Structure 1
Amino acid sequence: MRARLLKFLDNLPLLYAVLFAATLGLAPFVPEPHVWEKLKMLADGTLSEPIDIFDLVFHGWTWVLLAAKLARMAVVKTEA
């Protein structure tokens, strides 16, 4: 499983990860991105509704993917 994930990250173009985070990760842009709103709710302790938790996961996975891609690129670069 781990090898498949690392292969996926290696094959994923950085541009795609950035585009996912910039579009889906920040949508809707007005009045504020959902992920930011949900993170504020999480910090305040008011993130309790299932739809809010779903929104956090839905908009947040793109940022996790981007962070994983950047971390993998850093590790591969230092190994070379």
Structure 2
Amino acid sequence: MGMDEKDFGTMVYDYPKALGFFSLEEMNSKVNYLKEFGLSTEEVGQLLAYKPQLVGCSIEERWKPLVKYLYYLGVHRDGSVFAGYRC
């Protein structure tokens, strides 16, 4: 997911559900969705390490409606839209 051991430890400590609760396919789809916003693999790793609750959010039910709403408000499509987001 683009994170080092320290960041992975931070993610699991802050959101233990991230470890073993979601399938690898689900995790990869979320990482790939975030990369669509121009984030590098390392940036995705840092984002998920410090905002691990994003892993628990559904792309279809949470992320896409948020992106659509922000787009409607005129917010540019970049990875910062997820920085302050919580499910």
TM-score (norm 2): 0.26
Return the structure number with greater relative CO, CA threshold 8 A, min gap 6. 1
TM value normalised by structure 1: 0.27
**Counting helix residues as a fraction of each chain, which structure ranks higher?**
1
Bigger Rg, which one:
1
